[in-house]
Amino acid sequence: MLNKKRGYTAISAVLAATVALAGCGSDKGDGKNAANDGKAAAPNNNAPAEGYTLPIVKDGSVTLSIAARDFPSPYSYTKGFPVWQEIEKRTGIKINWIVTPNDQYNDVMNVKLAAGKDLPDIITLPTADPVKTADDGLIIPLDDLIHKYAPNISKFLKDNPEIDKKMRSPDGKLYAISSVTSGVAFSDPYGILIRQDWLDKLGLKEPKTLDEWYTVLKAFKEKDPNGNGKPDEIPFVPDLKLRGLTIFGSAKGLHLFYSSGYYPDKSGKVQFEWLKPEAKELVVWLNKLYKDGLIDPEFMTKTSDATRANITRSEAGVTNRFLNGKPSFESAMKKAGEQSVVWNLTVPPAADGDKGFYEKYGPISGWYGISKDAKNKEAAIKFLDYIYASEEGNRFVTFGIEGKSYTMVNGQPKLTEFAYKNPEGLDINTALRSLGASPTMPWIRATEGPLSSLVKEIMALDPKSAEQAKKVESYLIESNPYSLPSVEESETLARYQSEITTYVDSTIAKFVTGVEPIDWDKFTNQVKALGIDKVLQVKQKQYDRYKK
C-alpha cells in the first residue's frame, strides 16, 4: 500500500526512461466509434468498463495540458500537426502541448516535479520509477479510472497479462501506462549498423569476434573506404555516448546495454557484471580501439544529431542504432549524392566459439501518468484510452492521415507512397512524423494481434530491412527481467544506485580514453564501498517477484 505523502518531494531519476521515437499499432474495426468497441473487463476486475462516445466532451470545452518530449528538429508538436488536429476534432479536447527537446526533458521535468505544483494534466515521466512518483503524491492511481472509463486499455491489459504485470507496482496497482514495444523488438531491433558497401569495397567480411572487429575498424581508418583521398573516416561513431560502447559487451557475455550490467546468472542470482573480470577485458579492448583512433574521440560529448551528421557526410563506418537507421541513413545519404551506400545490421559480437546476443528493446518503454493537478481526470483517462488503445486513435498516431499517408484496403490500413516513397526523400518514420504520427506519446506495437499491423506493414514494404531483422532474430534475449520496485526499494535505489552509476560511467569513460590507467582493483573496491550489495538485494527481490 502506498503511503501518500502530503509534501511533494523531489523525484529521483535513478534510471533514465528509454524512449524511442516510433509509432504504435492498430486495432480492428471501422474506426467510426472506436471508443465503443465493446465492453471489456478491467484489469483484476470482472465487472465491465463503461464505454463512451465521441466526442469525449463538447468541442473545446476541455483543454488538457500534456508534458512530452518534443519531436527532433525540424518537427514540433507546437506547430499543429494534422494528426493531432484531427484528434482534437474527434475527441473535442484541446491540447496545450508543453514540450521540451528530448535531451533536456528529464532535467526540465524533474525541476517541475520537485516544485510539486501547477503540474500538467498528463505527464511523460522523466524516471523509470512511477511508483516513487506516485508515492510522492504527484501522479494518481489509474485502476479505478481505467475500470470506469477506459474500455480499450482494459481489454488490452486483459489480453496481454505479461504487459499488465510489467506495468504494475508491487502493491498490484497501476500508476502509469507505458508504450508497448514487443513488436518493435523483432521488427526494429537495436544493434550495430555497419557500412556494408565499405566492407565490400575493401574485400572484408562482416566481423563477428572482437579480433575481427578490430581488423575491420582498422581498415576503415587506413584504407580510405569513402574514396575521397582524405583521412577523414571515423571507424566507430557511437550513439548514446559511453552506453553505445557497451553493446560490444555481448562478446564477453555481459548485459551492459539495456540491463546496465544488472543481470541474473544461470542460477538466478542477480550480478553486477561491471565487477566481472570479463568487464575489464572489454574495457582493455575498448581502450586499445580508442588509442588507435578507431572510436570517435568526441564520443562522450556528441549528441545524436552530431553523430548523424558524421554518418550523412560519409565519415562513419559503424554506429549503434535501431534497424530503422538503415533506411533513414541510406535515404539521407543518397539525397546528398552517395548513391552506393548500404547500411546493414551486424550479428552481435561474440567470443570465439560462443554466440553473441542483443538485448531486446522493451517490452515496455517510458511512463505516462495523470497528475494530481489534473482538473478533469475522467477526460484525461478517456483521452489516453482513445490515442493509446482504441482502433481509431491508434490508427491516427500509427498511420497518420487517411488518404495522405495510408488508405484502407479490405478493412486494413495500408501505407501510401507518401510514407514509403516520400517525394521529399523522407524515410517511413520521418514521413509519418511530419504529420504528427510516430509520436513520443504512449503507443502500442504488439507482436501479434490487431495492434501489430504497422509492424507487419513496414516489414512488407521494406523487405531489405525485414531480411536484416530476421537475420538477428535468434540472437535476441530478454533484458531487464524485473518487476517495478516498491517504495522502500525505490528509496534504496535512489540512495545507492545513482551514485554507483555516476561513478561507474565516469570511471569507465576515463579508462577507455586513457585519462586514467586501468586500476580494476581500485574500481571494484570503490563500487563495493558505494553499496552495490544494497542495490543487488533490491534487484534480487525485483527479479524474484517477476519470475513468480
User: What cell does 2 get?
Assistant: 502506498
pLDDT at 306: 93
Instruction: Say which range, 23-32, 355-364, 438-447, has the weakest mean pLDDT.
Output: 23-32
Strand partners for 180? 364, 444
User: Is the link from the previous residue into 74 a cis peptide, with omega within 30 of 0?
Assistant: yes
Give which of 377, 491, 486, 439 is closest to 119, Cα–Cα: 377
Instruction: Name the percent of the chain lying above pLDDT 90.
Output: 74
Please write the tens of the pLDDT for every residue from 461-474: 788 999 999 999 99
CB 475: neighbour CB atoms within 10 A? 18
Give which of 323, 285, 348 is closest to 475, Cα–Cα: 348
Please write the tens of the pLDDT for every residue from 192-208: 999 999 999 999 999 99
Distance of CA 534 to the CA centre of its chain: 27
Instruction: Say which range, 13-17, 86-90, 275-279, has the weakest mean pLDDT.
Output: 13-17
Give which of 352, 348, 389, 349 is closest to 368, Cα–Cα: 389
Give which of 497, 481, 486 is closest to 131, Cα–Cα: 486
156 vs 548, residue with greater confidence:
156
Question: What is the spatial distance between Cα 493 and Cα 538, in angstroms, rounded to a whole number?
Answer: 8
CB 231: neighbour CB atoms within 10 A? 9
pLDDT at 334: 93
Question: What is the spatial distance between Cα 141 and Cα 174, in angstroms, rounded to a whole number?
Answer: 6
pTM: 0.81
Confidence of residue 516 (pLDDT cuts 50, 70, 90): very high
pLDDT at 362: 86
Give which of 272, 276, 279 is closest to 540, Cα–Cα: 272
pLDDT at 445: 83
CB 426 within 8 A of CB 332: no
pLDDT at 42: 34
Please write the tens of the pLDDT for every residue from 336-382: 999 999 999 999 999 877 899 999 988 899 999 999 999 999 999 99
Output phi, psi for 444, to 5 deg: -125, 125
For residue 170, the one-letter residue type is: P
pLDDT at 287: 98
Quick check: 122 pLDDT over 50? yes
Question: What is the spatial distance between Cα 118 and Cα 136, in angstroms, rounded to a whole number?
Answer: 15
Quick check: 217 pLDDT over 70? yes
Residue in this structure with the C-alpha cell 535501431, named with its chain if needed: 322
Question: What is the spatial distance between Cα 173 and Cα 157, in angstroms, rounded to a whole number?
Answer: 13
Question: What is the spatial distance between Cα 479 and Cα 263, in angstroms, rounded to a whole number?
Answer: 8
pLDDT at 182: 84
10 vs 174, residue with greater confidence:
174
Give which of 104, 102, 116, 101 is closest to 11, Cα–Cα: 116
Confidence of residue 452 (pLDDT cuts 50, 70, 90): low
Describe the crossing of helices 151-159 and 377-389 by its angle, rounded to 10 degrees: 50
Describe the crossing of helices 487-513 and 277-291 by its angle, rounded to 10 degrees: 40
User: What cell does 100 get?
Assistant: 521540451
Give which of 58, 37, 144 is closest to 370, Cα–Cα: 144
User: What cell does 463 get?
Assistant: 523487405
CB 93 within 8 A of CB 57: yes
Please write the tens of the pLDDT for every residue from 36-50: 333 333 333 333 345
Quick check: 72 pLDDT over 90? no
Quick check: 270 pLDDT over 90? yes
Average pLDDT of span 514-531: 98
pLDDT at 40: 32
- What angle is formed at CA 404 by the lines to CA 401 and CA 409, rounded to 5 degrees? 85
Instruction: Say which range, 209-213, 454-458, 535-539, has the weakest mean pLDDT.
Output: 454-458
Give which of 346, 380, 327, 338 is closest to 225, Cα–Cα: 338
Quick check: 316 pLDDT over 50? yes
Confidence of residue 25 (pLDDT cuts 50, 70, 90): very low
